[in-house]
Amino acid sequence: MTMHQFHAAQGAQVADDGIPTTYSDLLTEYRAAQTATVLLDRSHEGRIRVTGSHRADLLNRISTNELLKLA
């Protein structure tokens, strides 16, 4: 299931650029953020392509996570 399909299945209202703006009323979403779990799709914010033999080291250095341990 793609993120777009997931958002549609959850009844999201989607902006012209394809980004979900809301699923329900503001108070319900605020309560969910305070007491439960909220999923934010931020895939539209961009990506980078890293190449070269030292790419894993570079990503590990610029990330707050230890990416080399995730592999």
pLDDT at site 34: 96
pTM of the model: 0.47
Query: What CA–CA distances, in Å, run from 35 to 10, 25, 26, 38, 53?
Result: 19, 16, 14, 9, 44
Determine the Cα–Cα distance for residues 38 and 51; give it in Å rounded to an integer.
Answer: 33
Per-residue tens of pLDDT for the chain, all 71 residues: 887 888 889 899 988 887 888 988 999 999 989 999 887 777 778 888 999 999 988 988 888 888 778 76
pLDDT in tens, 47-61: 889 999 999 889 888
**pLDDT score of 35:** 96
